[in-house]
Amino acid sequence: RMESCTHVFQISGIKLEIWFLYLSVNPLYLNLCMYISQVYKHCTTHLITPQVLPSEKFLAACAAGKWVVTPNYVLESMKNGSWLPEGPYEVAIFTSPSAAFYPVRQWREKVAKGRITGAFQGWKVLLMVQDDTLSVEKSNLINFPVINR
């Protein structure tokens, strides 16, 4: 059944009970599939979240160049009877009532255009560890092939 879906969703930052309540009051005319999981699934096409979050699913979706949209994307599409364009529903950080920053859009567009090929490509990382018991984990990170020394 997942193979026939054009939109495969995961949710983050929304209580599952509330999400199912939203879906139950709207007719489900669209071909919608959803993974119920605490862990990000690579075949997800859209992450539904009310805001920018510091979660594994959110960061993974961003790194993979997936759409990260608010719940209104699904609800408004259901009312419309067909999938609406995602752009107006992408999550944003509002810096003032009239100004917004779209970090997810910038990352998604770079992945889509092939300007980057992997998650966090080109980043330089400073790892500061105060606890000596983390020496094994620290050496594993330092020897990780993506990190430049």
* Residue 56: partners with Cβ closer than 8 Å, 6 or more residues away: 39, 40
Q: Render each residue's pLDDT in the chain as its tens digit; 149 residues.
A: 555 678 888 888 888 777 776 666 555 556 667 777 888 888 899 999 998 888 888 888 888 889 999 999 988 888 888 889 999 999 988 777 787 878 788 778 887 888 876 666 666 666 666 666 555 555 555 554 443 33
Phi, psi of 4 (to 5 degrees): -85, -5
Residue 136 within any structural domain of the chain? no
Residue 84 has what pLDDT? Answer: 92
Question: Which of 44, 39, 30 has its CA nearest to residue 2?
Answer: 44
Domain total in the chain = 1
Residue 76, domain member (yes or no):
yes
Answer yes or no: is 130 within a domain. no
Residue 139 lies in a domain: no
Q: What is the per-residue pLDDT for 149?
A: 38
User: What type of residue sits at position 133?
Assistant: T
CB 79 within 8 A of CB 26: yes
56 backbone dihedrals φ, ψ, rounded to 5°: -60, -45
Residue 123 belongs to some domain of the structure: no
- Does 97 reside within a domain? yes
Q: What is the residue whose two structure tokens read 């067909």?
A: 82
Tell me which residue range forms the domain holding 51: 2-116
* CATH value at residue 105: 3.40.50.10190
Query: In the chain, which ranges are E strands?
Result: 7-11, 32-34, 46-48, 67-69, 93-96, 99-101
